[in-house]
Every structure is written in structure tokens, then in C-alpha cells.
Structure 1
Amino acid sequence: MTQDTRPLIRVVAGILLDSDGNYLLSSRPEGKPYAGYWEFAGGKVEAGETNFQALQREFEEELGIRILAATPWLTKIHSYEHAHVCLKFLWVNPDQWMGEPQSREGQAWSWQKAGDFTVAPMLPANGALLRSLSIPRRLYGSLKTGLHGENSMGAYRVLPLGSAEGSGANVLMEAAQWQDRPEHADSVWMMVQTREQWRQAQEKGADVVVWRVGNAAQAAAVDEVLKHGVSVPLVVAADVQTASHCGGQWLAAGAHAVLADEKMGNGNG
């Protein structure tokens, strides 16, 4: 695969949620590349703007929505026919925006459920992103026995590879088990503890990465990775005390979820 040598254009997009957990999608207006395709609203970061300032401007210009706050989520590099872009997706919770969506550029807009999108065609860069949206941002349980949470479609479970119920659609596994990954799993969650394992997880195509934090060095490694942006949802798992102390910082930096695992830190983690 030939490397794209065109200048990288910075673009931001917002994952805007309503009070029911639905996400806002809009269509690209006539006159733009991929006109009629659906995407998360946003646009190019202009000179002198931060990502957040660009998001605020774009949502006001396109949809008449005022963005009050946002947190980083995923960073994607994508080569279109017309541009080579670095897409920064920012997460906007229901209490972090004001207004009602308006079609200020003649575009259509629609609220959609994670895991059950009904609009098409979708912008090519957003395929994997849409699957990631179905992953709950609050997870409970243990890496030993499995994780559970809830999204807008209902209950969500992740089961360890080889467990009694291991035929589930979402599978949790060690990096060393990758050769045994189920072919038909809806998603594969790889557990890592080092930067090298993090790199391997991305190369191998893990859908979600779970970083186990058991000491200060591992916590610092997570901080460094989040600072540069992550391309797949990153769940940070730590003992209850560490999760309570550092969880807010990790979420603000772009972690998808923080798991307070009671089985970690007591000799069983």
C-alpha cells in the first residue's frame, strides 16, 4: 500500500448525544465532496484554532448548535480522493450543548441509535467508528470473569476467550492468544500492559484495547498514549483505588471507559 504523501489536513467532528443516548448525524450538502453522504458534523480546523474552537464554529455554522464543552475520543487518519485528513472526534454529552439542530447549509440531519444506524450512504471513514459507538462508556465486572454494560440497544457483554460462555459475540483475550481469536466474533478486545503490546493490538486489528494498569509506569504509559490520540476505543482497567484516583483524568484525555476491577490489586489481577 502506497503511503499518502499529501499534506495532512486537520479536521474535527462531534459525537453529539441527546438525553436518550442517540447520536446526531448529518448529510453533506451539495457542492462538497461526497455530497449526500452521512457523517458526524464538523469540518476543517483553521489556522490559529484549537480543535474545540473549530468544533464550536462548525456546529454553529452548520447546525445552529452551541457547543459548551467536549472531550477527545478517537483519532483517525484517512485518505480520500480529494484529501488526506487527520480526523479528531470529540465527544459531546447531552449537557454540553444547547439549541435545536437546523439545516443551515441545506443538509439533512437525523438522530440515530448506536448499533442500529438507518441512514445511508455513510462516509467511508466512519465504518469502524459506528461500530465503536455501540461500546458502553460505563463498564463493570472483572477481566477474569467478563465485563458488562448497557448501550441504547440494551445489555452489552464481553466474555473472556475460552470461558464457559466464550461463544459470545464480544470476546476478551490476551495479546498472546491472538492466533486463537474467534473468526465470527462481533468484536475482539485485546488486553495489553506495554507500549509494544499497544502497537501490536492496533496492527492486528483489535476492535477495543484494554490497558491493565498495575503500577505507576503503566499509568504513565497510558497518559502518554492518550496525549497523542488513540485510533481504537481504549478501556483502562485498574484496581478500585487507582481507577477512582485517575479515572477522571483518563476519561478527559480520551479513554473510552475506565474499569474499576475489584480483582486487580489483591494478588488476583
Structure 2
Amino acid sequence: MAEQRGKVYIVGAGPGDIGYLTLKAYKLLSSAEVLVYDALVDAELLQCVPSDCLKLNVGKRGGQPSTPQAEINELLVKYCQHRKQVIRLKSGDPFIFGRCSSEIEALKAAGCEFEVIPGISSAIAAPLLAGIPLTDPVMSRCFAVFTAHDPDALDWEALSRLETLVILMGGQHLAEILHRLVRQGRSRLTPIAIIRWAGTPQQTIWTGTLENILEQTSGVSLSPAVIVIGEVVGLRGYLQPEKISLENSSVADTWHT
């Protein structure tokens, strides 16, 4: 009988609720021996692994202690070399701001077998769950997805010209994002939506304009959130199920998905 070889599966957990997990990811979790997971992974997913599976929380959240990336790399290599079936569970999709490159490089350098399993990115799912289409034949012929944790690294002149913007990790820099866009000529009346905890029972949505969204979200934690900027935000009122009330779109609304 052939000896079992270790393997690392880098798996996308989707935007939140377990219902958005892919079937392949679910099957891999059910046979995992070691689970290395991120902070934003739904706690219900942790119940999908066998009872004797080793669970290691290496989540990274802004302003909180986190496991260094080098240590995460070492964990993956270590357990793979111990012939374990390792699941590296990341929120969203592994290749959308998932910091996979370092982990894959470490696995390849150590001769470890690995496979990447796609997941649904919050950049795509959050607008959909809020009833906002990212493309439209008239309003949005393209969209850009970017992270705003370092505003100085972005080309705001180019971004301001795009019809639709999807911003991850931008909650702490919302004021700076608005300032940069308006300074580059974006109208203060441009619609904006902020979707916090997309795909979970805690999902909350704020809609407004570049001019008034700061007032609406004052004193509120906007992490984790997906920010959508563009005229397509205005289509939300037409594309929501009828049971969702949008009588006052300037007030945050919470609904279950």
C-alpha cells in the first residue's frame, strides 16, 4: 500500500455564509487533517472538518495581533512534510488580495504538493447581495477592484475616470478615498454604497453620495466592508426583492441573505 503524501489545499471560503462555499471546498474540509484559517472565515465552516482535525487560527485583522506570514508559511510546510492533508482556508478567493504568493513560494521551495481552490470574492458577491450590478450597458462598461489600505500607492487620477470602483479594506481610509476622488474631478453627488459583513446575518448597507456618506457612517466601524462607487449604486432600488424596503436609502439597512 502506497504511503500517504502530504498536500496543501489553498481554499477560498467565499464571502461569509457557508452556503456560498463551493462543493469542492466542502468535500476537502470534510477530510482535512489540519486546518489553517483566517480571521474572517465563518465559524460554521470550522464545524465541517473532522473532530480530530487540528485547527490553527492565523487570522490577520487590522490593529490586532496576528501570526507573521513567515510563521504561516512554516506551518504549511511543516504539516505537509508530516504527510497531512492541510487546508489553508482563506476568506473570499485566494488570489484576490489573498497573499498567496509567499505561501506558494514556500511550498514549492520545500517540494510540497499544493492545489488552489477558487472561492467567491467579496468584491463580486457583496455588490450582488446588495442589489448593485457592477456592469451595465449604459452606466458601467467596466469596473476596477482595488484595496485602499495604502491610498498613497494608488493612481487616483486614473481611478477617478472609471465608471465603477469596488474598494476592499478601505473603511479606515474612507475620508481620504472621498477626498482623493473629488480632488480628481469626481462629482460629490456620485452614488456610493458601503456593504459591511456581506453574506452574513450581520450584513449592513449604507447608501448615499460622496458628499454625505461620511456623516451617515460617523462613529461606525466599517470593517470588514466593500465600498462601491458609481452610478450603478442607484440601480439598487430597482433590483432588490420587493420585500426589501428602500424608502430611505440614506439610512443603513440590515437584511438577511
Look at both structures and tell me which one has the larger radius of gyration over its CA atoms.
2
Say which structure is richer in strand: 1
Higher relative contact order at CA 8 Å, sep ≥6: structure 1 or structure 2?
2
> TM-score, with normalisation over the residues of structure 1?
0.27
> TM-score, with normalisation over the residues of structure 2?
0.28
Say which structure is richer in helix: 2
